[in-house]
Amino acid sequence: MPLTATEVKEAKPQEKPRKLADGGGLYLLVQPNGAKYWRYKYRYGGKEKTLALGVYPEVSLKSARQKHLAARDKLAQGTDPGEVRKVEKLTRHLAAAESFEAVAREWFNQTMPEKSESYRMRTGRILDKDLYPVLGNRPVAAITAPELLATLRRIEGRGAYDMAHRAKQTAGQIFRYAVATGRAERDPSGDLKGALKPKRQKKHHAALTNPAEVGRLLVAMDGFEGTPTVKTALLLSPLLFQRPGEIRAMEWAEINWEAEQWEIPAEKMKMRQPHIVPLCSQALDLLRELHPLTGRGRFVFPSPRGASRCLSENGVRTALRTIGYDNDTMTPHGFRATARTILDEVLGYRVDWIEHQLAHAVKDANGRAYNRTAHLEGRAKMMQGWADYLDNLKAQAMAGNVITATFR
């Protein structure tokens, strides 16, 4: 007798698994734990086989009979329904492996370890927020230029024109990776040249390069009345002229007191190369003053929200605003331009020393990149000369008579 919906619903478990037959090889398997599974027992090629048709109640009696009928039709045509199921599963697996998201994640894991943390995070946000929700499940080889453009238009729609260009660049890298690994024939992003709204004009980091103005800035910085942590980060910014993110993430373990230098590991640098910053006497004094306050923790400039993370990117920026310097006048990043300009044009130091100290890519006469210790003695003298020059600018500004001199 065929099963009824009520019998299926009320079927009780026993100590051992039991089968309730519906006819034609279809039966309900009731496990001792109460779970119920639809199964189809058939013979193919002289062998007895079983095909899973789903779990009750997700698959009702009616649905199970429909699946059973479809499997019997395949069997009547000389096809093993179990093998058909395996092929379908493999096809779905391969399709998933060749989806845009699958390829993108593979590309990300292959290429991102050597990139900076900020670049990895920015790229990850583009993928998670803008590309995966729209293109993630699509076969990477089937995505067309109009489809990609429609995705990028959504980003433009919220006014994020620069982000749309970054998303296009990221998508292009993924498509080219798909081509290289045999998952796609071409990169559709190449067809979108000129299709996006232009990027907003890049705004350069505001910086002071006039010695007199720098002197007045230094006087104002000395008068800043913020926390010792923020004030020390502010005062070290012109002395060290490293990237703001590198300064605020400085760790006590990176300070080599004996060698009087700050040794930054490669993973924290934009160029992914270790970097040495010689510490002038003024910088060492500032660090020694701060050490009793934050020296027990990891970061030289811990966040006020907790010592497990460093000062936020707004710490020094807000300090500059507090003393009267907005983003159009001076930025934390602007200290780099200040040092680059004056060290070269006023103090006359070697350009390669300056560029090396800025952690820019510098090559020797043979085109080889200098190692981190190249010209270290000369760079140390330059850093001390720069600090002494800044002290002179500040003193002259306080006296109301700025002069420029060479401190070498």
Catalytic residues: 243, 270, 333, 336, 360, 370
Structure tokens at 352: 């390669």
DSSP assignments along 68-92, one per residue: HHHHHHHHHTT--HHHHHHHHHHHH
Backbone angles phi, psi at 280, to 5 degrees: -70, 165
Give 285-292 contacts, CB < 8 A, sequence gap 24+: 286/232, 286/235, 286/236, 286/239, 287/232, 287/236, 287/255, 289/228, 289/232, 290/228, 290/229, 290/232, 291/252
Q: How far is CA 403 from CA 216, 344, 384, 393, in A?
A: 12, 17, 19, 7
CB 302 within 8 A of CB 288: no
- Single out the residue of 390, 402, 403 nearest to residue 236, CA to CA: 390
Tell me: cis bond preceding 57? Omega within 30 of 0 counts. Answer: yes
Q: What are 290's two structure tokens? A: 């701060």
- Residues with Cβ < 8 Å from 79, sequence gap 6 or more? none
Six-digit token string for 348: 């006359």
Neighbours of 357 (CB within 10 A): 27
Q: Are 84 and 90 in contact (CB under 8 A)?
A: no
Kindly state the tokens that stand for 270. Answer: 């934009």
